[in-house]
């Protein structure tokens, strides 16, 4: 079977263009995670590369399946020039390594928290994992491997994250939509939750 990561990088390049920067982070006991930065007008996108090298496995499984299981990469889009968002590289790599480190399956509707601001001064410490398929199409792999899904990340304030735990991801997304929230604004305030 062909190595997955060159195919993933090719899919990212075909959807987002050429990356203008990349950084690599390795955590003890994990495979290397890279974060690629793509600039398009006033939007900067950060995409992980390495999370999909192996399938995510059920944390309750006795043995991890080396072939079958969901695969994903993470994509974060923010407005450029409004904050030092390039410092998000390490937190993104931490989130991308979480399936290997914590044995979690990252899927749409999940909350992921890094426990500190995503970048200096950011009002966000966590993200909501959104549905894939809009920005970067799924990458089909040879059977029996699952496709690689490119999961958008939507930054959440601590209040939004707490509200989402009670009311669910769909309800929070509806609040954002109703409130006309610019989810790409790296300095936005929390949406009204009353």
What integer best gives the mean pLDDT of the chain? 92
For the sheet containing 33-40, what is the strand order? 21-25, 33-40, 43-49, 71-79, 148-156, 126-129, 111-113
The span from the CA of 176 to the CA of 182, in Å, is 8
84-127 residue pLDDT tens: 999 999 999 999 999 988 888 999 999 999 999 999 999 999 99
First-to-final CA distance of the chain: 52
pLDDT of residue 59: 67
Predicted confidence at residue 39, as pLDDT, reads: 96
Rounded distance between C-alpha atoms, residue 96 and residue 156, angstroms: 17
* Residue 57 reports pLDDT greater than 90: no
**Looking at residue 154, what DSSP letter applies?**
E
Q: State both tokens at 30.
A: 């994990």
Sign, CA dihedral 98-110-161-135, equals positive
- pLDDT for 190 equals 94
The mean pLDDT of 12-20, rounded to a whole number, is 97
Mean pLDDT of 140-144: 91
Q: Which token pair is 11? A: 């899919």
Q: Is 80 exceeded by the pLDDT of residue 65?
A: no
Confidence bin at 156 (pLDDT 50/70/90): very high
pTM for the full predicted model: 0.93
- Average pLDDT score over residue span 43-70: 85
What residues contact residue 160 under an 8 Å CB cut-off, 6+ apart? 172, 190, 191, 193
The pLDDT, as a whole number, for residue 101 is 83
Determine the average pLDDT of the residues in 156-165. Answer: 96
Alpha helices in 36-191 (DSSP H): 89-102, 158-167, 169-178
Instruction: Give the per-residue pLDDT at 1.
Output: 42
Q: Shortest CA distance to 44 belongs to which of 10, 81, 18?
A: 81
């Amino acid at each position: 079977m062909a190595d997955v990561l060159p195919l993933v990088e090719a899919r990212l390049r075909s959807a987002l263009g050429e990356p203008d920067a990349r950084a690599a982070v390795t955590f003890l006991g994990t495979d290397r995670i890279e974060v690629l930065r793509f600039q398009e007008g006033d939007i900067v996108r950060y995409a992980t590369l390495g999370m999909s090298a192996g399938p995510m496995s059920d944390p309750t499984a006795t043995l991890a399946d080396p072939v079958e299981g969901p695969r994903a990469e993470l994509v974060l889009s923010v407005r450029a020039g409004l904050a030092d968002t390039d410092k998000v590289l390490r937190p993104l790599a931490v989130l991308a390594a979480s399936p290997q480190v914590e044995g979690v399956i990252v899927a749409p509707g999940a909350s992921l928290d890094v426990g500190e601001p995503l970048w200096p001064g950011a009002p966000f410490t966590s993200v909501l994992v959104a549905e894939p398929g809009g920005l970067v199409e799924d990458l089909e792999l040879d059977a029996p491997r699952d496709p690689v899904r490119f999961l958008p990340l939507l930054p959440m304030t601590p209040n939004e994250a707490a509200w989402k735990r009670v009311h669910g991801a769909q309800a929070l997304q509806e609040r954002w939509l109703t409130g006309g929230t610019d989810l790409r604004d790296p300095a936005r305030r929390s949406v009204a939750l009353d």
